[in-house]
């Protein structure tokens, strides 16, 4: 009876160890990827905020230059 319980315990321990060897790296990778994505989103938000401040400080740079004739800017053709 004791031998049967030891064999069952070893078998369960082996199965659990195999499952954990597979699942733990997946959890680590997914948490690292989500933290990296969060960092990238925060950096992008900071860049957009800085760009908005720069546009408020220098509104003259956004003015388009009127050109005479039939010339069409490349940006307008898109």
Residue pointed to by tokens 């800017």: 73
- The structure tokens listed for 44 are 């992008």
Which pTM does this prediction carry?
0.51
Instruction: Report, as an integer, the average pLDDT of 4-33.
Output: 95
The confidence score (pLDDT) of residue 54 equals 83
Burial 17-48 (b: 16+ CB within 10 A, else e): eeeeeeeeeeeeeeeeeeeeeeeeeeeeeeee
Average pLDDT over residues 7-35: 95
């Amino acid at each position: 009876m004791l031998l049967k319980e030891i064999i069952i315990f070893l078998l369960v321990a082996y199965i659990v160890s195999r499952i954990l060897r597979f699942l733990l790296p997946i959890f680590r990778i997914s948490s690292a990827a989500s933290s990296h994505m969060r960092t990238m989103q925060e950096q992008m938000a900071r860049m957009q905020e800085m760009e908005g401040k720069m546009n408020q400080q220098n509104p003259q740079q956004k003015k388009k230059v009127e050109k005479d004739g039939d010339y069409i800017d490349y940006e307008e053709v898109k």
